[in-house]
Amino acid sequence: GAVVSQHPSWVICKSGTSVKIECRSLDFQATTMFWYRQFPKQSLMLMATSNEGSKATYEQGVEKDKFLINHASLTLSTLTVTSAHPEDSSFYICSACLAVSSYNEQFFGPGTRLTVL
């Protein structure tokens, strides 16, 4: 099956620093990638939709300047949390979309746990 990786899997940083998370589709090309955020014991909340070569589309309430998304190639999207604060601590998960007929299946990465001190 299609494999999506994320790096790093776990990061701790000081308040005010920026953190970059990479999402890669390893064995397929993904024109669309998604970024989600998940708080403990809660569901996945879509943050933004990332299309290769174009600007990301952010969901309502997600700060574009705080969560910078770059989708530079068909296999790589990055999420940068700028000037991170403790409230940004969360589990960040990406997914990459593989079109199967009319159904766009999303394959999820293993997630990145961010802890901001």
Partner 1 sequence: QKEVEQDPGPLSVPEGAIVSLNCTYSNSAFQYFMWYRQYSRKGPELLMYTYSSGNKEDGRFTAQVDKSSKYISLFIRDSQPSDSATYLCAMDSSYKLIFGSGTRLLVRP
Residues near partner 1 (CB under 8 A) are 4, 6, 32, 34, 41-46, 49, 91, 93, 95, 97, 103-111, 113
Nearer to partner 1, 82 or 106 (CB): 106
Nearer to partner 1, 82 or 113 (CB): 113
DSSP the chain: ---EEEE-SEEEE-TT--EEEEEEESSS--SEEEEEEE-TTS-EEEEEEEETTS--EEPTT--TTTEEEEEEETTEEEEEE-S--GGG-EEEEEEEEEEETTEEEEEE---EEEEE-
Nearer to partner 1, 74 or 82 (CB): 74
Nearer to partner 1, 45 or 74 (CB): 45
Candidates 112, 76, 79, 80; CA nearest to 93 is 112
The least distance separating partner 1 from the CB of residue 16, rounded to whole angstroms, comes to: 26
The least distance separating partner 1 from the CB of residue 29, rounded to whole angstroms, comes to: 17
The least distance separating partner 1 from the CB of residue 103, rounded to whole angstroms, comes to: 6
